[in-house]
Amino acid sequence: MNKLQKAAVHLLVRYLVNDSLKKLPKAFNLAEKLDRGHLHTPQIRAVRDILLDENSLWRRFVEDLLREVDRKVLVKLVENFFINSYLDGAARARAVEARYDCNVPWAILMDPTSACNLSCTGCWAAQYGNKSSLSYEDLDSICRQGKEMGIYFYIFSGGEPLLRKRDIIRLCEEHQDCYFSAFTNGTLVDDEFCEELLRVGNFALAFSIEGDEEATDMRRGKGTYKKVIEAMERMRRHKLLFGYSTCYHRYNTESVGSDEFVDEMIAHGCRFSWNFTYIPVGKDAVTDLLATPEQRAYMYRRVREIRQTKPIFIMDFWNDGEFTNGCIAGGRRYLHINSAGDVEPCAFVHYSNVNIHEVSLLEALRSPLFMAYRRNQPFNQNHLRPCPLLDNPEALISMVKESGAQSTDMKAPEDVETLCAKTAPAAEKWARVADTLWAEHLQKEYHAERKRA
């Protein structure tokens, strides 16, 4: 996209946000024209059809956004997250991929610090303490290198990233063409920070919560649930964009998937939802928290029901493999850089060949482990079994051994075979259930295709 095209799009976005949804047809027509490589034409048309239907759920979702979220925040969301990342960045990323024969991600997840003010059950970061941090210069360099390759979306995890909130706000100021988000426990969100979020406009939070008060406090400590709800209400009063993130496991899956919980999160102002299943990462991680195959199937169905019935954008990191053609890690759609600078294929796969302090981002993407991911993806033709750790542990063992990658665990390095021995029984049990679900999915796709024909 050239400078003149970009300027035209940004003017149109501001016009749309400040006027109404009446101008949507013009916006979609322009979006199709700007999608020169036709990378996103099907998605653009699908969204157009939904939003132009005045009776659709998603039309109501957007109307609520326009009414309840600050206009500057919405402009930044559309310009940076959708235009810069999807329309402009995607074409540049594909060009880099073709030139260097490596994956180029859509998003980078990075840990500003390993420190956290909570100690949640089953979280590996709870064991690390204040051992390492990426400097502001590190974070800034990653963003600058990423933008050269077409990457405009950056997510913070940890540790608790808001322990570094001043540096994160500074980063948002410096890179106003990027969009930022963070997974946070919510205990450090005050009015002053909300005002800073409103000022920069390009930063959204995902509050970690485990379901109802009992389930949340069980893993995160007594009183944590109330602090999260208070933070959500504070964000809502400041007209900010935010959502929630859950880790579903054996003891809370039915809670986080319930109508009551999702409705409550929407009522508190959440616009999006990340859903992750528990992974036993870390030498002392308990396998008892692993969700059962029946619970994972329950979440697969519930997420799809919620998308049809509730005004919230909901994602399931594992069960949405059918939409991403399998695993998105290894730089295919995202990668992880931990607080020590180790460049890992996934936040849950703590193995690496390279450190960002010693190599460029491009060199990291061409490192042995990342190239092994590129050669082997997808790891399973059943995209409901996408993960090399949770669903295909033999694949992760093979790639780590082949590439000579080393454990990056900050407390107790773990051999990959020892790690995968924890998930192999769950993978075997899930395979039987997932294969049935996948067969049902393929049958539906077949009938839908025949109907279209």
Per the listing, tokens 């773990």 go with 414
Phi (first) and psi of residue 355, to 5 degrees: -125, 135
Please name the residue that has the structure tokens 């998605």.
Answer: 43
- The CATH topology of domain 69-452 is TIM Barrel (3.20.20)
At 311, give phi and psi (nearest 5°).
-80, 70
pLDDT of 32: 76
Is the link from the previous residue into 161 a cis peptide, with omega within 30 of 0?
Answer: no
Residues whose CB falls within 8 Å of the CB of residue 380, separated by 6 or more in sequence, listed in order: 326, 386, 391, 392
Q: What are the φ/ψ torsions at residue 244 (nearest 5 degrees)? A: -135, 160
- How far apart are alpha carbons 416 and 432 in whole angstroms? 24
CB 30 within 8 A of CB 82: no
CA 438 – CA 22 distance, rounded (Å) = 40
Tokens of 300: 């697969």
Question: Chain-wide mean pLDDT for the chain?
Answer: 90
Cross-sheet strand order for the sheet of 272-277: 313-316, 272-277, 242-248, 203-208, 179-184, 153-156, 107-110, 334-337, 343-344
Task: Return d(Cα 111, Cα 107) in angstroms, integer.
Answer: 13
* Token output for 297: 């199937």
Tokens 């919510």 -> residue: 186
User: Could you tell me if 202 and 180 are in contact, meaning their C-beta atoms sit under 8 angstroms apart?
Assistant: yes
What residue spans in the chain does CATH classification 3.20.20.70 cover?
69-452
What string of H, E and C letters represents the secondary structure of 83-151? HHHHHHHHHHHHHHHHHHCCCCCCEEEECCECCCCCCCCCCHHHHCCCCCECCHHHHHHHHHHHHHCCC
CB 219 within 8 A of CB 235: no
User: Which residue type is seen at 336?
Assistant: H
Q: How far is CA 205 from CA 111, 165, 416, in A?
A: 15, 12, 32
Any idea what DSSP says for residue 349? B
CB 383 within 8 A of CB 326: yes
pLDDT at 321: 93
Cβ(90)–Cβ(40) under 8 Å?
yes
The angle subtended at Cα 186 by Cα 182 and Cα 191, nearest 5°, is 100
Stated pTM of the model: 0.91
- State the alpha helices, DSSP H only, in 340-415: 361-365, 368-376, 393-403
Tokens of 394: 């033999």
Output the tens digit of pLDDT for each of the chain's 453 residues: 555 455 555 555 665 566 566 767 777 777 777 776 776 677 778 778 877 888 889 888 988 998 999 999 999 998 898 889 887 898 899 999 999 999 999 999 999 999 987 776 656 565 555 679 999 999 999 999 999 999 999 999 988 999 999 999 999 999 999 999 999 999 999 999 999 999 999 999 999 998 888 888 787 788 889 999 999 999 999 999 999 999 999 999 999 999 999 999 999 999 999 999 999 988 778 899 999 999 999 999 999 999 999 999 999 999 999 999 999 999 999 999 999 999 999 999 999 999 999 999 999 999 999 999 999 999 999 999 999 999 999 999 999 999 999 999 877 899 999 999 999 999 999 999 999 999 999 998 888 888 877
What is the spatial distance between Cα 440 and Cα 430, in angstroms, rounded to a whole number? 15
Judge contact between 317 and 274, C-beta under 8 A: yes
Phi, psi of 350 (to 5 degrees): -90, 65
